[in-house]
Structure 1
Amino acid sequence: MDNSSVIHTFLQAMSAEPSVFEASGFDATGAGSLPSAFAVTELAVAAVGSAGLAVAEYIGHRFGSRPSVTVDRRLASFWFGASLRPQGWSPPDVRDPVTGDYRSRDGWVRLHANMPHHRAAELRVLGVEADHEAVARAVASWDALELETAIVQAGGCAAMMRSQDEWAHHPQGQAVAAEPLFHYQEASAGPPGDLRGAPARPLAGLKVLDLTRVLAGPVCTRFLAAYGAQVLRVDPPFWVEPGLVPEVTLGKRCAQLDFRDLAQLEQFKALLGGADILVHGYRADALERMGLGAEVRQLIRPGLVDVCLDAYGWTGPWNTRRGFDSLVQMSNGFAHAGMRHYGKDKPTPLPVQALDQASGYLMAAAVVRALTGRLVTGLGSTTRLSLARTAVLLASRPASRAMAALEPEIADDCGPEIELTSWGPAHRLRPPCDVQGAPMRWDYPANALGSSPAQWLA
Structure 2
Amino acid sequence: MRREGLRTAADVVEELAAETGLHLPAVQVTGDDPVLPSAFRIGTAAAASIGAVTAAVALVVEERAGQAARTAAVHEGGIDMAATAGAAVEVSGPVGPVVVGMREAAVAFRDERYLLVDGEATPMWAPLSGDYRAADGWVRLHCNFDHHRDAALRALGLALGSGREDVAQACARRAAADVERVVIDEGGCAAAMRSPAEWRAHPQARAIAGTPVVGVARLDDGSPPGRIDDGSTAGSRPLAGVRVLDLTRVIAGPVASRALAGYGAEVLRVGAAHLPEVPGAVIGTAFGKRSCEVDLRTAEGAAAFRELVAGADVVVQAYRPGALAALGFGTADMAAIRPGIVCVDISAYGANGPWAGRRGFDSLVQMACGIAWEGGDGERPVPLPAQVLDHATGWLAALGALAGLLRQRAEGGSWHVELSLARTARWLDGLGRVDGRDVVEPDPADFLAEMDGPDGRLTYVRPPGRIGDLRPFWSSPPPRRGEHPPAW
TM-score (norm 2): 0.85
Mark the CA change 1:85 to 1:148 in structure 2 (over 3 Å): closer, same or farther: closer
233, 247, 262: which one aligns with 1:197: 233
**2:280 aligned to which of 220, 243, 259:** 243
What pairs up with 1:34-433 in 2 under 5 angstroms?
34-63=36-65, 64=91, 65-67=93-95, 68-82=97-111, 84-86=114-116, 88-129=118-159, 130-187=162-219, 188=221, 189=223, 191-192=226-227, 194-195=229-230, 196-198=232-234, 201-238=237-274, 239-340=276-377, 345-401=379-435, 405=439, 408-409=442-443, 411-415=445-449, 418-433=450-465
C-alpha contact (below 8 Å) 2:393/2:424 kept by paired residues:
yes
8 A contact 1:73–1:432 mirrored in 2: no
Q: For residue 423 of structure 1, report the CA deviation from its aligned partner.
A: 2.2
Report the Cα distance in structure 1 between the residues aligned to 2:25 and 2:240, rounded to whole angstroms. Answer: 27
One-letter amino acid of the counterpart of residue 331, structure 2: A
Query: What is the total number of aligned residue pairs between the two structures?
Result: 437
1:440 to 459, 465, 472: 472
Structure 2 stretches lacking a partner, 5+ long: 1-5, 14-23, 66-90
Query: Sequence identity of aligned pairs in percent?
Result: 39
Report the CA distance shift for 1:376/1:99 in structure 2 as closer, same or farther (over 3 A).
same
Deviation at 1:405, TM superposition (A): 3.4
- One-letter identity of the residue aligned with 1:97: P
CA distance in 2, matches of 1:404, 1:103: 26
Alpha carbons of structure 1 residues 410 and 217: separation in structure 2 relative to 1, 3 Å: closer
Q: Which is greater in Rg? A: 2
Letter in 2 for 1:53: A
- Matched letter for residue 123 of structure 1: L
Contact kept in structure 2, 1:33 and 1:403, CA below 8 Å = no
For the 8 Å contact 1:245–1:448, the answer to whether it is kept is no
Residues in 1 aligned to 2:174 and 2:441: alpha-carbon distance in whole angstroms = 44
**1:90 CA drift (Å):** 2.4
One-letter amino acid of the structure 2 residue matched with residue 45 of structure 1: A
* Unaligned segments of structure 1, at least 5 residues: 1-6, 15-22
Q: Is the 8 A contact 1:125 1:150 kept in 2?
A: yes
C-alpha change, 1:87 and 1:209, in structure 2 (3 Å) is: closer
Contact 1:40 1:399 in 2 (8 A): no
TM-score by length of 1: 0.90
Shift of 1:183: 2.0
CA drift at 1:179: 1.2
Letter in 2 for 1:159: A
- Partner SS state of residue 57, structure 2: helix
Structure 1 residue 93 displacement after superposition: 1.8
Tell me which amino acid in the other structure corresponds to 1:237: A
Q: C-alpha offsets along residues 171-227 of structure 1, whole Å, 9 cap, x if unaligned? A: 111112221112221123165464443355111011101001111110011110011
Contact 1:245–1:447 (CA under 8 A) maintained in structure 2: no
C-alpha RMSD over aligned residues: 2.3
Q: CA deviation at 1:260?
A: 2.0
